[in-house]
């Protein structure tokens, strides 16, 4: 068992293995026990589930503080709060995706669950690669900063434009290359049915699978935006990854907390809250004597961009639902 003490991305293997095991237990409890039977999830249950994940995330932060020290603990809590705020963007876009594909609430938890699995894998790859690149080439932080400025300016210019799920390049690409059913088939992602073009039985994607793919793509896009913001706090991959995952786990249940398949009406809350988070980050750096890295000085552009982005998604969510 000596390999458990080997360092991987700056921390012992047993720490990584323990965190992954904890997440697996939580997801197994979520889908295998609490939601084993397919059913609609109410507002109270959604809020309770989110509160439970927040409590677990903060409790994990307490352990980080106790085991890794005060600086690591503060960095974790800061990263958790920032990612939790930014993750609300995902909630609004998920609402738009479910509305566009007319996904009933009965099947939404299944899509969100498998979406979390994809997030865990994709975030691990992105954060691992990012940490490796930053440790070898510190000047990459300047690229992160430039990217945040670019996305902020772009969203500022596009603030009054609405977002149309049906015009997403990934969705157009999939429709052009794969067989897709016109209607849902229960909770199934794929079905076999007769292809009118060939007269043979073929596998078809369902709108439920398209919704899952779109959610994964959206999270990937937001990760490119939000992960550099956490790297502005700390370059420790363990802190970045664990705070990311717990924040996302806590944010996803809020999608169902608005009732009738809508998220809570939080665009205005997030707009002010994200700016407050940035102020908290700045105070944390000043008190801790944290040396500012090249990218962190531009973090404000990122948070102002997120405020604009929340307004954009709030406007877009009012558009009528489309279809497959």
Residue 30 CB-density burial (10 A; 0-12 exposed, 13-18 middle, 19+ buried): buried
| Integer Rg of the chain from CA | 20
Give the pLDDT of residue 207: 92
**The pLDDT of residue 106:** 81
51-98 pLDDT, tens digit each = 899 999 999 999 999 999 999 999 999 999 988 887 777 777 888 888
Does the reported pTM lie above 0.85? Answer: no
pLDDT, position 297: 39
Task: Determine how many CB atoms are found less than 10 A away from the CB of residue 116.
Answer: 21
**Calpha distance 217→198 (Å, rounded):** 31
Which residues of the chain fall short of a pLDDT of 50? 258-323
Q: What pLDDT score was predicted for residue 5? A: 74
Q: Nearest Cα to 118, choosing from 25, 226, 15, 27?
A: 27
- Please tell me the predicted confidence (pLDDT) of residue 209: 94
């Amino acid at each position: 068992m000596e390999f458990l003490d080997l360092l991987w991305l700056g921390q012992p293997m047993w720490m990584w293995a323990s965190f992954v095991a904890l997440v697996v237990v939580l997801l197994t409890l979520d889908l295998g026990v609490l939601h084993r039977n397919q059913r609609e999830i109410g507002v109270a249950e959604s809020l309770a589930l989110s509160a439970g994940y927040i409590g677990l995330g903060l409790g994990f932060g307490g352990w980080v503080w106790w085991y890794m020290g005060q600086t690591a603990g503060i960095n974790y809590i800061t990263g958790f709060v920032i990612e939790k705020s930014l993750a609300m963007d995902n909630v609004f876009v998920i609402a738009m995706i479910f509305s566009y594909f007319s996904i009933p609430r009965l099947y939404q938890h299944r899509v969100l669950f498998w979406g979390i699995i994809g997030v865990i894998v994709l975030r691990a790859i992105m954060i691992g690669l990012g940490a490796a690149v930053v440790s070898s080439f510190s000047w990459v932080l300047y690229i992160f900063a430039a990217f945040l400025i670019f996305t902020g300016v772009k969203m500022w210019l596009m603030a009054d434009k609405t977002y149309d799920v049906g015009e997403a390049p990934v969705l157009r690409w999939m429709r052009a290359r794969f067989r897709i059913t016109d209607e849902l088939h229960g909770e199934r992602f794929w079905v076999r049915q007769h292809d009118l073009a060939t007269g043979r039985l073929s596998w078809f994607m369902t709108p439920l699978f398209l919704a899952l793919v779109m959610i994964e793509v959206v999270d990937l896009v937001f990760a490119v935006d939000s992960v550099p913001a956490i790297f502005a706090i700390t370059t420790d991959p363990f802190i970045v990854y664990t705070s990311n995952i717990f924040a996302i786990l806590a944010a996803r249940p809020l999608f169902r907390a608005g009732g009738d398949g809508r998220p809570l009406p939080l665009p205005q809350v997030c707009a002010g809250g994200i700016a407050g988070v940035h102020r908290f980050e700045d105070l944390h750096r000043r008190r801790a004597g944290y040396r500012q890295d090249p990218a962190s000085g531009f973090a404000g552009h990122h948070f102002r961009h997120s405020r604009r982005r929340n307004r954009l998604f709030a406007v877009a969510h009012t558009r009528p639902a489309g279809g497959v």
